[in-house]
A and B are shown apart, each in its own frame.
Chain A
Amino acid sequence: MSFTIAATVEEAVEAMANGARPIAGGTDLVVGARHGKSALPDDLVAIDRLAELAEIGPGPGGHRVGALVTHAQLMIDPFIVENYTALADAAALVGSPSTRNVGTLGGNVMNASPAMDTGAPLLVFGATARVAGPGGERTVPLDELWTGPGTTSAAANELLIALNLPMPSDRCGSAYVRLEYRRAMEIAVVGAAAGVTLAEDGTVASASVALSAVAPTIVAVAGTDALNGLALADAAATAAELASDQASPISDLRASDSYRRHCVGVMAKRAVDAACRRAAGESISVPVNRALGIGAA
């Protein structure tokens, strides 16, 4: 058994090459171990002090969010709230203040839960993952990173170091909405993110939608070209149909498959609605769930 604190990304990658698993806030790893889901790894390398991975700043082709940026940072960062609002919406819904203080974006992405909140916004923005391994760094599109519930295509010795987000366009807006039964310490029953760019006449010029908790991974909705040229209400209704049609949810103790299929359409409709309104300049505070009274009463 071993525990080391990495001072550099290289040290972390080296420890991982020797079999150690990375730990940042531990909100999945430690909680999972205490649940008996899977034992704590014998060898751990703490990455939570790698300050260079905790920054939000310019990146290749847009902006770079370090893997160690916490949910608490994301939900209030003025740049994220302004330009990648759906990501702030999602971060603000994760767990409780304590979860958000230590839980990181990188941890959420690599835990690869199909119900993760930050995944659908990242997919809508076209984010890519930057991973570091013994042979150097590489970039992985998120739809190639997530391979199933709790699994990724990253090798065991590869460390996620950042998410790269393409530059937002003019007249764009985004939102993430989820169905929840309570307002804290909750996991999405289903969720939807939307990113919309409006034409000068106020109709949709382009849109992307992604869904949480209705498939083995976070999934992008296909055929969102059908929203182009539509006004807000029709675009939202079309997104709802596409989302419900394409969902392949399971039944579990939180919801049946048919309820999830219906509700993910409702969430997609609300996400497109809020994204269009934000794109048009309306101020809807983060998170949308609270601002519009979505979720538990």
Chain B
Amino acid sequence: MSESATPQNFDLEVNGISYPISADQGKNLLSVIREDVGLTGTKEGCDDCECGACMVLLDGQPVNSCSYLAVQAQGRTVTTIEGVMQGEEMHALQRNLLDEGGVQCGFCTPGMIMSAHALLDRNSNPTPEDVKIGLSGNLCRCTGYAKILAAVEKTAAE
């Protein structure tokens, strides 16, 4: 990568707000969200497109933000975990994850919620297999997944 990199200037819409960004073209969406936009709910896990901790929605679809160029997200809508809260009120997925014991260390939780959110947006009545496939890009090292799956199924049933 050239040391005389000129930054790219573009607007990035995150959770309905447009942010002016000036960033190297190789900078990933995750780093721009955390460092330039200043929203730190989205986590860096493996930084290798494996774990899903960095999951955000791009035009409503889950995307690993660690491995997506921020400059490619201009003109699209980005939704992060901060955009899932409804004012001061938790989203049903958040509430059910707490109620079901689906949160332990919590590091995977924002990514899990984003994947589950996208799943329920396109399929309001998922089978247990649908839920597993919907969350198949998200790793959790604490819970053993059962309580997370239960929370998503409970949310769908509400």
B-contacting residues of A (Cβ < 8 Å)?
1-3, 5, 23, 25-27, 30-31, 33-35, 39-40, 42, 44, 46, 48-49, 72, 95-99, 101-102, 183-185, 290
On whether the beta carbons of B49 and A27 are closer than 8 Å, the reply is yes
Query: CB-CB < 8 A to B26: which residues of A?
Result: 33, 40
Q: How far, in whole Å, are A140 and B54 apart by their CA atoms in the complex? A: 38
What would be 29 A-B contacts, judged by CB atoms less than 8 Å apart? A1-B4, A1-B5, A1-B6, A23-B69, A23-B72, A26-B68, A26-B72, A34-B28, A34-B49, A34-B67, A42-B2, A44-B25, A95-B137, A96-B136, A96-B138, A97-B115, A97-B118, A97-B134, A97-B137, A98-B55, A98-B64, A98-B115, A99-B64, A101-B61, A101-B62, A102-B61, A102-B68, A184-B133, A185-B50
Residues from chain B with Cβ under 8 Å of A2 in the complex? 25
Q: Say whether A34 contacts B62, CB under 8 Å.
A: no
Q: Is the interface of A mostly helix, strand, loop or mixed?
A: mixed
Establish whether residues B48 and A34, one from each chain, have CB atoms under 8 Å apart when the complex forms: yes
Kindly state the separation between the CA atoms of A87 and B117 in the bound complex, as whole angstroms.
Answer: 28
Sorted nearest first, the 3 A-B pairs with minimum C-beta distance are A96-B137, A184-B136, A3-B25
Bound CA–CA A290/B136 (angstroms): 14
Contacting residues, chain A, for B156 (C-beta < 8 A): none
Type the 1/0 row for B33-52, where 1 means its CB is closer than 8 Å to any CB of A: 00000000000000111101
Query: Chain A nearest CB: distance from B22 CB in Å?
Result: 13
Complex alpha-carbon distance, A118 and B55, angstroms:
25
Q: Let me know if B136 and A30 touch, CB within 8 A.
A: no
The B1-19 residues at the A interface (CB cut-off 8 A) are 1-2, 4-6, 8
Q: Which residues of B contact A46 (CB under 8 A)?
A: 71-72
- Is B78 located at the chain interface by the 8 A CB criterion? no
Cβ of B1 and Cβ of A39 under 8 Å apart? Answer: yes
Report Cα–Cα, A98/B63, bound state, in Å.
Answer: 5
When the two chains form their complex, are residues B6 and A99 in contact, meaning their CB atoms are under 8 A apart? no
Contact A97 to B72, CB < 8 A, known contacts A1-B2, A30-B67: no
Option from A30, A95, A96, A183 in Cβ contact (under 8 Å) with B69: A30
B5: A residues at CB distance < 8 A: 1
Interface flag for B150 (CB, 8 Å): no
Whether B25 contacts A1 by the Cβ 8 Å rule is yes
**List of A residues within 8 angstroms of B58 by Cβ:** 101-102
**A89 CA to B51 CA in the complex, in Å?**
24
- Please give the distance in Å from B123's CB to the nearest CB on chain A: 11
Q: Does B32 contact A (CB under 8 A)?
A: no
Contact (Cβ within 8 A) A3 B52: no
Residues of B within 8 A of A35 (CB): 48
Q: Is B66 an interface residue (CB 8 A)?
A: yes
Given A42-B1, A96-B136, CB of A31 within 8 Å of CB of B49 = yes
Complex contact A30–B68 (CB within 8 A): yes
- CB neighbours of A31 from chain B (8 A): 48-49, 67
